[in-house]
Structure 1
Amino acid sequence: MLRPRAIALAAACALTFLLATPGSASAIAGDFYYTYTDANGTEHRQKLSNTDFDERNCLNVKEAEAEGTKPAHSPRNNTDIKTYVFEDIDCEGTYHVLKLGGGEGGVNLKFRSFLMQDS
């Protein structure tokens, strides 16, 4: 039978471990939209939800990353975090910032990758 002091020590150690263990990155809420052109020249509106991206990871627009494809355009950021759209793949080249909660760009804002980040 465990003594009360040993039980309290075990509980304190467990609590310390939980507090010291880093948690997972917070999920991004909301959706990100953009328009891309397929190989037949037809435009499509794409919606990405929070399960499709996470904070601090550069994502290439899969429909616009291959050689010879047109860049995506008309982004709309309906997430709770700023989004940076880049003219080249792998978050390279000139970028534009879309504010959280409705920041958008028109048909002239061309991009091939994006990054969601607070700073």
Structure 2
Amino acid sequence: MTRLRAITTAAASAAMALAIAASGTASADAIGFFHYTYTAADGTEKKGEVHDQPDGECIDIEEAVADGTKPAHSPRNRTDKHAYLFEETDCGGQKFTVNADADGGANLKFRSIYFVSST
């Protein structure tokens, strides 16, 4: 009887460890690239990107946060996560969604991004 109880306890511990490991993968990084266009200080349009970003963390677009800069635009989401784009830094203002492996137009202006699971 003691041996059966030890086997049952070991099996329960293994199942709990597996459940904890599986739940940890739910907030995995946004794997892939997120491309955008921004206006440089000299007025020329340039391409920028972020890649393999943490899921659930607000990311400001470096080239679009300084005073007097224009927002980024023309997003191309080549990650495995949905991207929430915000018109202000620190994920403030109006929110727009660009699904995984989808694009937004030149009129979609944003200064920060937040990736979320596609499921």
Q: Sort the TM-score into its range (normalised by shorter chain).
A: 0.7 to 0.9
Q: Which runs of 5+ in 1 are unaligned?
A: none
Shift of residue 104, structure 1, vs aligned partner: 2.1
Higher helix proportion (structure 1 or 2)? 2
| Local SS of the residue matching 1:23 | helix
CA shift digits 1:29-81 (9 cap, x unpaired): 2210001111111211112221xx11111111011111111111111111111
Q: Which residue of 2 aligns with 1:32?
A: 34
Report what 1:48 is aligned to: 50
Instruction: Give the 3-state SS of the residue equivalent to 1:117 in structure 2.
Output: strand
Assess, with a 3 A threshold, how the Cα gap between structure 1 residues 97 and 13 changes in structure 2: closer, same or farther: closer
Give unpaired runs (5+ residues) of structure 2: none
Shift of 1:20: 5.8
Q: For 1:74-113, what per-residue CA distance to the aligned partner results, in whole angstroms no more than 9, with x for missing partners?
A: 111111111111110011111211111123222x211101
- 1:1-119 counterparts in 2 under 5 A? 15=14, 18-19=17-18, 21=20, 23=24, 25-50=27-52, 53-106=53-106, 108-118=107-117
| Partners of 1:80 and 1:104 in 2: CA distance | 16
Q: % of aligned pairs identical?
A: 41
Distance 2:114 2:51 in 1: 14
8 Å contact from structure 2 (residues 74, 103) kept in 1? no
For normalisation by structure 2, the TM-score amounts to: 0.76
Distance 1:13 1:96, change over 3 A: closer
Give the root-mean-square deviation of aligned CA atoms.
2.4
